[in-house]
Structures are given as structure tokens and as C-alpha cells.
Structure 1
């Protein structure tokens, strides 16, 4: 990723609430109180629009409990009236905020993908811990640089994969340890969402691979459905770059964009477990995404936006909804008490290999017009790839790409990414 001319110059928020991320339930853990932790943690937020609105709501909850004090925000666009506490200073960029604000405990960065690296580095130059929205950065080189800087600083860095705070993950580990599913033979992640023409016009970086030589990598697997990939990797035990043996990509697009909107990512861990992520934002209707564990004696389906786990074996079917730990609270506990991070920068290494595979892959192959229908009118119209629902299911179940399934519009072929030696 190239270095922008100035950190403040490209720090505009996306303007969309949670691009591709469903609304998350609030934490079920007890909120840390000022009495328990001393003075409220001093928080700064970069990016108050788009997914920044989620952070504003969550910080409001924590501030009401006495756990935090939102002392400053930064965004080139003014905050919505009443969205920021009157006591919080408002800046147009993070550089100005950091220069004017002392003794910060945590900096949260919820800005466009291409700004993550410079803003994260600026935050780590202070004495604050960092909460960085997903995806962490837009290239493996920037990830490695950020990893080195964070290690040298000694500050915690939490990555905003909220699904990794789900208590269902512990339940899945228990199911696997107990042998409920038999031998785990593979994992699939399935995502089928709808995004209309307006989605790609909400900001200048939407659907871009790069802007003026600066990497963006706003593809279906790296932004809208990035949680599906990250969650599948975590369940497979693939956290760091050393946990991934191979990555293959097969990228397509139905929309007139640079990046992919319909893709298969096939991963194999160093333990030999296959993970296949079959994802689209060109479905007929949106369905909550899910990660499936395929065992020799049963399956477990984790609907990660709902924290809902469905297990089916010869003994029957069970379904349970779990709670979730809030990542901001977890970062505060890490800073004050050394509690392990749920979604650390280092544990995002496996995901970053997938992002790098997408970034360096050939341009997405356009899906022929004869295989795409458009539903809706004007900016609300959205593309629907013919037969995509069945194709996603088969790809995940059989660990095959679209071309290997023989789909008529899949005229590309899987591209192997040269995974760097650990």
C-alpha cells in the first residue's frame, strides 16, 4: 500500500453503517465500572460515520456505565447533531486530535480501509491501545509493518472482527473435543447478501481494488463478508500466517466495479484442514451468513451474526443462541488487567494471507450478462447471479470452485497464492 500524502487527507468515513456487517448484539458480560477500574478510560474515535456510528452507540453505553470517557473524535465530516457528547472535542483528522489530546487510553479507528495503516501507525506512536476496524490493513506488507510497530510499542491492538467475541466459539471447541461431530473433515463459510447500485456509490473507495496507487481491496471476502472468512479461520485454529499452508482464489463480478462481488476462497491449514468460503453480494435475497463444520458423524452450523449454533448428528438436532463479549470491553480489560485479546492483530495473520491472495489475484472475471438479472429500479437495483444459491452450497460442501463445478458463467480458474514461508 502506498503512503498517502497526509493522514488527515484521506480519513473520510464510509458513510454506510457497517459495510457488510450485520448489527451486533450488545455484550452479555458485565460492563466494567469506574469503581472497579479506577478513572474512566479516555477514548478517542477516528471516524464517526459509517461503522463509526456503531462505536458511538457502544461508547455511549460504556460511558453511561462510567467505564469510559469519549474525550475526542476525528472526522472530515462533522458528527451528526447529538451523536457525540458535548464534552468531546471534535477534530477533522486524527493527526490534529492526537496533537491536541493527552493521556489517551484507547484510540478506535473506524475509517476507510485505505486509511487504516497510516492512522494505526499514528495511534501506536502514542501510549494508547488501538482498536482497528476490519480488515486490519490493505496489504500483507502493511500488516507486517504494523505488527512490528505494535510489538515494539507494547500496546494491545484489537481488530474489529466482532464475531470472535461469541461464546458459541467455546461451545464449538467443546463439541469438537467431545467428538460429537466425529472427525472434522472440513469447514465452509457461506454468505449470500444483496447490495444495490447505491452501495457502490456511497463513497469513492467502494468496490475499488486501489485508488491512485493506494490499495483498497474492497472485495466480498475482504470487507462485506470478511467476518465469514475470519470466523471460519478461527474455528479451524488458523490464527497466524504460520497456520496457513495454501490459499486459492476464484474471483468474479456481476457489478461494474473493480473488485470481486462473487467468489470462492479455498484455504488449507498447515494441519491439512480444508476451508472453503463461497460468498456473494449478488443473491436474490439476503440470508444471515454461516460457517459449517463438516464432521464424519454430523455437522455444526454457526450463524455468526446471531451467535446461533445448530448441531445435527444421528442423535438428533440441537439449537442454542449464545452471548457475546464486546471487543472494546475486552481491549480495556487487556490494558488494565492483561486479559488476552479476543481478536488480536497477530491472530489476524491468517486472514491477512487471504486478503493478500485477493489483492494479488488477477482482476475479477465479469459474469456474462446472460447469467445476471437485475431486480429493482434505479439506484435500488441489484444484480442476481443465476443459480448462485445452489452454487454456494455446492462449493462449500464439495470444496470446489465455481469453474470446477462446471457453472456456465464460471470461465475463470482458481489462482494459487504463494504463501510466504513462516
Structure 2
């Protein structure tokens, strides 16, 4: 992880500016309100291009004395007293905005995912290194106490040699979810890659976590060396809404993810870690269930004991690093490269986003929107987890076999992926 040491102590609140005030930006604004109450930070400026759509919020912020801009570049060039720029904007704009802010001399906290493509991420890492500033990514699960408890247990060898990790996400998303902005569910938007879907947005936290869990070095992520993945869509969108991914890391650990937003209901996110001595199941509420079958022993960490893992925790950590009170960011941009390799590699391996045969899709009205479900998807994913196989290997009738994509020297997306 990127060290924050040697940046000097100061007790004044860290001064933030935010690009955007609508959509997920409201979560950033809420976190900054909490920091202000704690004396850790204060929001002093915002930029928003969609003025009329966000008029009420902008008026509220202006009444609080914040400076409001309609051009983020102007804000960056004007607000030189700002310490940190937070970027909760659309995926296609993460990289250019983060790079611009770093070049202007600001610390940067960018929302997940860090970028759509590996080349954009590498440009962000390069800009961060040249600037000497901090650049963190809003993978908030990396701030959870349960997450760090599990990292420590793995590092201490309590589970033995890690052999397999499996990230599981079964959520439900209505058509209205994809109407929230112009890039939702899109592969490409306004001349830039978006790749918006569970892998690079809604469930990206789970995939990112896995490369920390399998690393031999505490607090560092280890890179995959190859990926085999199948990407599907049942919603009327461009990008994926269902996937199965298998990676192998350089230290020989198998990494699986099984994601869908076409489940009949949203379930708790879970991750299974299988070691030579024991296993662990991490849940989104930060609770953990440990088991050592050979010793007939179990141990649990309750959600009450664990806790954390929210966006406000990420902002607290970032502000404390800027102030010199903590030494490591929850998720520095440099440590997201393994995640980005896996995410882009999954698209490359799949070749395209395959359409699920309509025979296996249920589309039903729900409220003012429409729900999309893939028939038997909970059972399919359950079987895939149990047998540690991809959907096509199970003979699922709508599944398409794909090729392994090797990641050595991989620095530009796309190589094999094409929009169909």
C-alpha cells in the first residue's frame, strides 16, 4: 500500500472540493458532512455541469458559503487552498479528472472503479507518482474491520496456504437502475469506455478484495496471470449483468467470482476463502465465520464486533493520511492494478457480452419499472460455486465457452473484446 508517512502534521480540517453533486456524489457529500462534524475535513467548493437538475442542492451548498463552479477545470485552477479533490463522477471521467487534479497539485480520492481500462489506470498511477500526492480509490469495503481482521488471519497463516477464493454477488436491479444516467449499462459513452456492470461497478468491491486476500504480503494486492470469463446480459443493455470469472494469480491461487443482478431478490455479498487448514466466509456486514474442519472448531466475528466498511470510513482514513495521523490509505490507486487486470481481462476472455437466450429470461412489471430474472440463476451459481466451474463447463444451455486470456505484458484494452 502507498505510504502516507512524512507528509507533515497539521490539525486543521482537510479542505475538500468535489466534482459533481448528483447521483453517488450525494454519498461523498454525506461523508464530508460527517468529517466536518468531527473536525477532520470541510467541503469548500463543488463543480457541477448539470445545474438545473441539481439546482436545489447547489443552492443549499451556496447558502452554506461553498463556492460553486460549472467547470471542474476552472475549479482546479482557482481553488489552490484545497487539499483534496473527490471525484464521484461517471466511470468514463474518472481517469481524465483524476489526472487533471493530480497535475494541478491536489490529493485525489476517486470513486470506484478507478478507471474503465488498464491504460487509463496506468496513466493515473503515473500521474500520482509524478505528483507526489495521494490518490485513493473509494473501494469502501477495504476500510472495514472485518476485512482487516480476515487479512490478518490469512497473513498469520491461521487458514494455512490459501488455495481458492470465491466472490459471490446475487443482486436484483430493475430497468430504472439503468435509466439513472447516460452511461449506466453502457460499454462506450461519449467517446470513452464505460464498461458499466457488476464487474466494473456495482460488485467491483468484491473482486478487488480478493486480490488482497490471496496476497502473501499484508495490505498489498497480488496480480492475476490469466483470466477465463463468461459475460452475459439479460437486461436490454450493452454491458454485462451476469458473469462468472476464473483467474489464477502468480502465487498459484484460484480466484473465482460469480455475479448477477438478475436474481429474484438481492442477497448479502459473501466471499469464501479456502485454505489448507481452514476456511473463512466474509459477509458484506463485515461478519466472518471461520472453520477448521480438521480440528472440529469454529470461530465467528459478529457484525457488531466488526463494522465499518462505508464511504465515510474511506474519507476519514484519507483525511487522517493527509494530516499525517495515519500511515496507509485504505486503497491506494497503485494497489488496484490487479483488480483492473482481472476486470479488463474478463472482457477480453469473453470476447463479447453474450445475450442470454430469451427462453431463460423472465421480464415482469414491478412498480414503475421492470424486473429481469434469469431462470434458476441462484441454483446455477450455487452449483458453479460447489463444483468450482464456469457456467459453460456445467453445460448450462444458454452459456457460451470462452478462451483463456493471458495478462503478461497487458497494457491496453481492448485486444480481443468487441462490441456485438
**Fold agreement, TM-score > 0.5:** yes
Give the unaligned 5+ runs of structure 1: 1-35
Aligned residue among 365, 373, 376 for 1:376: 365
Aligned residue among 80, 85, 99 for 1:121: 99
Partner residue, 2:6: none
Partner residue, 1:323: 307
Q: Deviations over 1:153-192 (max 9, x none)?
A: 0011000000001121232134335554444320000000
Q: Secondary structure at the match of 2:263?
A: strand
Q: How many Å separate the matches in 1 of 2:164 and 2:137? A: 26
Q: Deviations over 1:26-81 (max 9, x none)?
A: xxxxxxxxxx8422211101121111111111101111222212110111124444
Q: How many Å separate the matches in 2 of 1:249 and 1:257? A: 19
Partner residue, 1:185: 163
Q: How many Å separate the matches in 1 of 2:118 and 2:152? A: 33
Change (3 A) 1:171 1:60: same
Greater shift in the superposed pair: 249-258 or 389-398: 389-398
Q: Secondary structure at the match of 2:95?
A: helix
| 1:268-417 → structure 2 map (5 Å cutoff) | 268-304=248-284, 306-313=285-292, 314-316=296-298, 318-321=300-303, 322-324=306-308, 326-337=313-324, 339-360=327-348, 361-377=350-366, 379-410=368-399, 412-417=400-405
Give 1:236 deviation, angstroms: 1.5
Scaled by the length of structure 1, the TM-score of the pair is: 0.86
Tell whether the 8 Å contact from 1:401 to 1:414 is kept in structure 2 after alignment: no
Tell whether the 8 Å contact from 2:211 to 2:222 is kept in structure 1 after alignment: no
Is residue 57 from structure 1 mapped to residue 44 from structure 2 by the alignment? no
Tell whether the 8 Å contact from 2:281 to 2:289 is kept in structure 1 after alignment: yes
Tell whether the 8 Å contact from 2:212 to 2:220 is kept in structure 1 after alignment: no
Tell whether the 8 Å contact from 1:139 to 1:359 is kept in structure 2 after alignment: no
Q: How many Å separate the matches in 1 of 2:102 and 2:389? A: 41
Partner residue, 2:65: 87
Greater shift in the superposed pair: 356-365 or 397-406: 356-365
Q: Secondary structure at the match of 1:54?
A: helix
Greater shift in the superposed pair: 367-376 or 215-224: 367-376
Give 1:237 deviation, angstroms: 1.8
Give 1:398 deviation, angstroms: 2.8
Scaled by the length of structure 2, the TM-score of the pair is: 0.86
Give 1:373 deviation, angstroms: 1.1
Aligned residue among 223, 234, 237 for 1:243: 223
Give 1:353 deviation, angstroms: 0.4
Aligned residue among 202, 219, 242 for 1:262: 242
Give 1:249 deviation, angstroms: 1.5
Partner residue, 2:416: none
Greater shift in the superposed pair: 310-319 or 111-120: 310-319
Q: What count of residue pairs does the alignment treat as equivalent?
A: 385
Q: Secondary structure at the match of 2:264?
A: strand
Give 1:331 deviation, angstroms: 1.5
Tell whether the 8 Å contact from 1:307 to 1:324 is kept in structure 2 after alignment: yes
Greater shift in the superposed pair: 192-201 or 397-406: 397-406
Aligned residue among 187, 194, 197 for 1:219: 197
Q: Deviations over 1:225-256 (max 9, x none)?
A: 11111112221128878622111211111111
Give 1:214 deviation, angstroms: 1.3
Tell whether the 8 Å contact from 1:251 to 1:264 is kept in structure 2 after alignment: yes
Partner residue, 1:230: 208
Tell whether the 8 Å contact from 2:99 to 2:123 is kept in structure 1 after alignment: no
Root-mean-square deviation (CA, aligned residues, Å) is: 2.2
Aligned residue among 101, 109, 115 for 1:137: 115
Q: Deviations over 1:103-131 (max 9, x none)?
A: 21100000000011111111102222100
Give 1:414 deviation, angstroms: 2.6
